[in-house]
Amino acid sequence: MNKIIIHILIQFLIFLSIHGFIVTIIIITKSILKTFKYYYHLVLYLLFLLFGINLIQF
């Protein structure tokens, strides 16, 4: 019985940590986009370049 409870708690903690991690990334991304409003297109362009380079390598 205790093993089941511990297992459920571990699953819940994993879920919470993953959820928290995703929320943190979203918050950080939003704050970055607010501060870099004018650089938004530049950031997108750089990401596109990096992604394109990675695609060419594969």
Prediction pTM value: 0.42
What pLDDT sits at residue 11?
Answer: 92
Query: For residue 50, how many C-alpha atoms fall within 13 Å in the half-sphere facing its CB?
Result: 6
The pLDDT assigned to 55 comes to 72
Q: Where are the domains of the chain?
A: 2-57
The one-letter code for the residue type at 43 is: V
Query: How many Å apart are CA 53 and CA 42, to the nearest integer?
Result: 16
- Summarize pLDDT for 3-58 with one digit per residue, the tens: 988 999 999 998 988 888 989 888 888 887 777 766 667 777 888 888 877 777 65
Q: How far apart are CA 53 and CA 50, in angstroms?
A: 5
| pLDDT value for 7 | 92
- pLDDT confidence of residue 57: 66
